[in-house]
Structure 1
Amino acid sequence: MLRSLYSAVSGMKAHQSQLDVIGNNIANVNTFGFKSSRGRFSDVFYQTLQNATGGSATMGGTNASQIGYGTQLAGIDLDMSRSAFQSTNRGLDVAIAGEGFFQVQDSDGNIFYTRAGALQIDPNSGNLTDANGYTVLGVSGDPLGKAPGSNKIHLDIPSQQAAKAVKTETINGIRYTLTSEKATTDANVSVNFVVDDTLPDGADAVVKDTEMNTGSLTVRVNAKSVFSSLSDLMDKVNTAITQANGGKEYPTGKLSLTAVPDGGLFPAGGLTGAEILGYNFDVVPGELTLSGADAATNGVFGSMLPKTVSSVPKFTAEGDVTFNAKYIKATADTKAAWEITATVVKGGDTRTFVGRIDESSTAANSVLLKESPVKPGEETGQYIEMKHEGFTKLSDEWLKDHAGADIGTATMTSKGTSTVTASQDSKELGLGQKGFVLEGGTAGGTLSSSQVGVSILANGIVEVNHPDKGKIQVGRIDLATFENPYGLEEVGNSYFQQTANSGNAKLCQAGTNGSGALKSSALEMSNVDISSEFSDMIVTQRGFQANSRIITVSDTILEELVNLKR
């Protein structure tokens, strides 16, 4: 009698669990991206009353005699079948027409997978998120040529043309040559410092790798970050540049940034990313072009620097002598030097003089120019006077003959300063021919999603209709597939997480490697079949009821046994 009671109890428990599964399915009949489940029963164990025997020549065999001890819920299986789509007329609603899952990441860095594609753009970070605020993963920026990824999708929508403001600050600059492996030709590089209220992953400074071969780098500085010193700020900027360059550092002296504010020190407590833009920046060392009228010669300062950030050598005097600078490359056991060439034209006679300034001669006030080729009687050379303050200025230089008479004016002309425009809450540092200028602006920054039309293509590419630039691609939603999607674990909010039985996520672009294409302005509905659930509910109810009857009958029989003796 006791066996039937406990068997019936196990049956009631199993059917109760099955009813719980059915109830959860019906409750989520209108949950987007929901996948239904089913209960699976199995018997438990048996008591063997008689073992099976084999037959003989005179007698046949007998089967085993066993009594079972009820049932159990062996497992709950997911139904990953695709469901119908519901049109929403909302461009950021996306459904997957096939296999695959969206990748999302919570604030702790945990990655989940979902079929619910109700997306939105976070107004604070500019990241693409789902309805629960989890960041959608894929590729940021122009996705052309980029492998499928699991990075936060930051929609950096370029601003419209910025208007100039009145306030202007001049900061010395140097003409650079881009030496990244990605560069195709020499180029003038602009380094732009732009303040962002929030950067991806809370970074202090970010440089996009897509800009490494464009001749213009934008360093986004977190407005909320506090930098304790100049080296702290510039270390993080240089780290961002290195990361954008594929982890490869720039060759020494090619793109190293330093900053020199008034007095050379940050105020107590440090400066925020927004405040550092009021400081002057210099770039050292680098290649500076100082050319004459024919613009034929390039010069390099190397490690010979001006003593202050307010000036580099300026050459203003006019005359009939062209004075050029040329770089002398340093070997392993020599120092870099500045080679000076003066060409004197007088009375139709052209004479060329050559001299050098060693990098350590920062306070020299003259340099010996020897004529090249040397003419008889003039091998002693000529002196050129240099009026400067540690290589901060050089002007009105004169060449003198042996008698001390003036024979001409040495001049060096430059192309002046270059000007760039930035937004009111950002500053751009454009590296120009001789100097560069910071200007404020009234527009700039980034446009919000409400100012542009955002659409998601079938291959996952996020496209915006920019008012100035037309249609541009600013990101891509990549999908994840699994060898055994039935092995995923549900964690709520229509999320699944990877398990040992599901296998690792395989990333792919939508519509490739067996994954489905994306359909915008639609959401995948729940795959719960109400008619099947009601049928299962009736069967489960009757199963529970039948097991309860076993308990009733067993109780009645026990009562009869008790009443045998009165």
Structure 2
Amino acid sequence: MNSTLFNGYSGIKTHQFGLDSVSNNIANINTTGYRANNPEFKSLFSNALNSVNPNSPVSSDMNYGSTVASNSISNNDGNYKESDEEFSIAYAGKGWFVVGDNENNSFNATDVSNGLYFTRDGSFSRDAQGYVVNSAGYYMLGVDLGKIKDGVFISDTSNDEANLATGEIKPIQIPQNLHYGPTQSTNVNLALNLNSNQGEINTYKLFLDSNGKINEEKLLNQDINSLIIDNENINASAYNNAVIKITKNNETKEYNFNYGDFRTIGELKQLIKEQSGLDLDFARDINGDINKNLILELKSPALDELEVSLEGKLFDKLGLKGDKKLFNLNIQNFNTSKNYNVNDLVKLNGAVFKRVESAGNSSPLDDSNFWQMVDSSSVREWNEDGNYNINDLVKFDNKIYQKLSEVNSAPTSADWKLIDDNKTLEITQFNSSENYPKNSFVYFNNRIYQKISDETSISPDDTLNWKIVDGEKFLSDKINIANYKTTIDVFDDKGDKMVIISEFVLNNNSPTNQIWNVKSGIYDKNGENLIGDLVEHTISFDGNGKVNAEPVELKYGDKSIQYNIAGSNSKSSSNFSYIDSSLLDSSKDGTQKGELVNVGIDNNGVINLSFSNGITEKMGRVGIVAFVNDKGLQKIGGNLFEMASISVDGEDTTPASGKPILGWDESGNLRFGQVLYKYLETSNVNPADAMTDLIVFQRGYSMNAKAFTTGDDLIKEAINLKR
């Protein structure tokens, strides 16, 4: 056999191998995760021809044939296409998914058990037991955080970071009927912003007691500076003065009230009453209850006419301003020729008298047995420079005196007669259980009524027996008080939802110590029925905005929740006026039961489970390994590779690929690539290169076949020479 024949034969055989390899690549051009083979060739052997020209500087050799050098796998990434399957994943970069042939497989960087394989095919799904497997039933290996026990997911995030960086991987199991185990709420921490210019809830509702009646004492104890008019805090510290001017009997008196001398609504009410005699109160409804609109009214309880003027920045802010005549009952002056019945009223020298006992026409000043003074608000104060006539009445040292002689002297002398103590007719709220005599005065439906008959009457609605006698009054704008309401879900030991509702009401808006009163309680899941104790507590802010609020214990049944409104684990509560009142952050424990609704895998390969209770938590990660020499892995079919061993110098075998390397570092982050969820990697066969190689190998095959036939012809010709 000549060399030409041998070379042609080896060339045919070598190019046939190339054709087989390329055609296999083309056959798997749509195989998910397929790694193409790259056939490589080498010369078979050669012989140096030193006898041809031993002294030549150019070597002369003779090569004999070719053979296959290798059929290495390609390390190039394929393309990535989207997939809707639950566990479709792809890996971009250097690395492999790890699969095992049974559920007991495990793997770490130093110990590789039998039955472990490596693949780039991420077409995984869950089997009937919840194991993540490929289409051939091989189990996907990864890190399991051990949170799933007997079909229940137990929340524990304390060691997630460290456990996700472990080198131990095993089959991943996520049961189909997995549910999130409920845990009881024991601690709730809130961070919120409280804006003193905002009122979220109708203020009236914030002061209702357990009987549905407004707690008047609490309302009157509100700091004036906590009030809001037209969504703006009145800022009583700056707009701090209120002035009342009262003109009576051509005499004008001025009363000044300054915020600081009083702080609460009740204190202002008391000061106005003591100094001016006027009544400051909240407008009331037909039953005498404070009107839900919360409007302040300033009125006179006296029976004579008063000209009142209101001034000052504080009154302006409240909407109490202007000039009014507050009251004029128009009681007839005493007439000596008229006969008066019991309960009739008369006016004499500025005082109002009521007939008692029996009818008659005696003078109120001479007959104290049948007349009773009921109001002396219009009687003039005594003045030592004044000129008084006989029977004139004066007010001196809070008593009423009658002038008896022409001598000018102080009311304490014998020239004066003591009539009675100074009196102001007190008008009370109508009480349906009380029987009112004629000329009684009551507040009813926010107005003053006078009884005009002796007949029994149910209420002032009876216009035959009652009449309206009040004049004008000053009414404020609608008042609100800065408030806010929070609702946050918590859970009992069975995972049933409850809610903690807190109502915040601004009580003191001092720039150096802003105080909010808080009522907190645990309610049913609809927030309607209180199922625990209602706790009253406070939250305050100093001049620098530093918060102070002690944690409180909210009880329900034999259980309790520690509740803190000073801040969450990451934020503190604040009182910024440029931010709406809002819940900024919360830190709490406790969860309700939830069913598994979704599985997700992030770019770092971490598997997250989402449940119907709104909680998403890590359960493990996809196992990724890399090799120093990927080409040293051996194909076994089914898109799987295994580690092949080689012997070095007759010594112990070692993996041709090198030992496996974990795909993540000590912090748990992937270091050679990233996982793509809902994607699959296509074959990395390049169609253009494959077709080119196919043509090249075909031409090589043809040319070697020609060389073979040429060699055969030469042999035939040599044989014919002998003939």
Bin of the TM-score, shorter chain as denominator length: 0.3 to 0.5
TM-score (normalised: structure 2) = 0.36
TM-score (normalised: structure 1) = 0.45
